[in-house]
Amino acid sequence: MSEVGYCTNTACERATTHDPVERYPGPGEYCPSCGEPLKASKKPRRRLWLVGPLIGIFVLSGFAGWKWTAFNVRVCATSMTDGVANSLVNAYSAQHGSFPYHYTITRPENLPCDVRFLATAANADGSSVIARDGIVAIVNPGNPVTQLSREQLRDIYTGHSTDWSRAGWSGKIVPVMPADDSDEARGAAALLGAGVEGSVMRLHDATQIVRLVSSPSGLRAISLVPFSASVGAKVLAIAGSPPPSTLSIVDERYPLFVRLVVGSDFRHPVQSAADLIEFARSDKADEYIGHLALVTRNN
């Protein structure tokens, strides 16, 4: 008779109904509904008595080591690559019969990453570049301004310019920016050549920012967000540069283009990490990347 386990996650339906789940080493150690580790049944096996549990401990210990190597893959993603990392992990898992929770998607820390999704303007190995994006200045659709210079943007975010009059409009400027550790903030620092003033409004992510800037309450707001996330807002050109577009980003003429790359911090990553990287670099991945409004390699 197969061993059964029970989910202990109170947010999971299987836990609330106390449904037994067949439990076996590897993928079978997790709840198929929510991914929580299953609690083993306390019913002893009749014929094994003492020897059986001891053997089971050694066997499961061996499988626990295998599970860590094969499934607990640390996937690091940044603010501009989080969406593509989640999309590709889910797509890969669905196509290969594995489970998304075997891949832990997290922000980069001082720990090595089995798989690392990174947004960078630096040169990168061509095979590692899976898409391109850009960092763009956005305003409310009701704002008549169409372009700003780098100097004007710098003055806005360093607090030297607080009114739209210098850009040919009127009213107080409301600058918004994601967190300091975001790709957008780092891109802004490169563009502005200066730090962002402390009174600038901070929001968690680009989705929140675009929602605010596009709303009636964001009529005089401005922010820097990924081109792929700017739908709904008005995108400004940077004076003296090609306006941001799919074409100017894919050929990297737009000055704030960003390459999205994938790789590993390990010279020889575990097989499940290597397989995910290979999938992310394949033509099959372009379909999922394109759904995020990113500029794929085949655009």
Question: Cα–Cα distance between 283 and 288 in angstroms, integer?
Answer: 10
C-alpha dist (Å) from residue 112 to 69, 143, 187, 265, 276: 14, 44, 24, 6, 16
Whose CA is closest to 253, among 266, 241, 267?
241
| Ranges of residues in the chain whose predicted pLDDT is under 70 | 1-2, 11, 26-28, 34, 41-71, 98-101
- For residues 73 and 117, the answer to whether their CB atoms sit within 8 Å is no
Question: What is the reported pTM?
Answer: 0.73
Q: 136-182: per-residue pLDDT in tens? A: 999 999 999 999 999 999 999 989 999 999 999 999 999 999 888 89
Share of the chain above pLDDT 70, in %: 85
pLDDT, residue 219, reads 96
CATH architecture of 131-250: 3-Layer(aba) Sandwich (3.40)
Question: Cα–Cα distance between 200 and 220 in angstroms, integer?
Answer: 13
Radius of gyration of the chain (CA): 24
> What's CA 150's distance to the chain center, in Å?
28
Q: Hey, where are the domains in the chain?
A: 4-65, 73-128+261-296, 131-250
| CATH code linked to domain 73-128+261-296 | 3.40.190
Burial of residue 162 (number of CB atoms within 10 Å: 0-12, 13-18, 19+): middle
Edge-to-edge, what's the strand order for the sheet holding 4-6?
A: 21-22, 4-6, 39-40
Question: Cα–Cα distance between 48 and 131 in angstroms, integer?
Answer: 56
Q: Which two tokens stand for residue 206?
A: 């680009």
Long-range contacts for 56-59 (Cβ within 8 Å, ≥24 apart)? 59/25
Length reported for the chain: 299
Q: Which two tokens stand for residue 26?
A: 């590897």
DSSP 45: P
Q: Are 73-128+261-296 and 131-250 equal in CATH topology?
A: yes
pLDDT, residue 58, reads 38
- For residues 145 and 156, the answer to whether their CB atoms sit within 8 Å is no
C-alpha dist (Å) from residue 202 to 154, 176, 178: 17, 6, 5
Q: 233-247: per-residue pLDDT in tens? A: 999 999 999 999 999
pLDDT, residue 65, reads 39
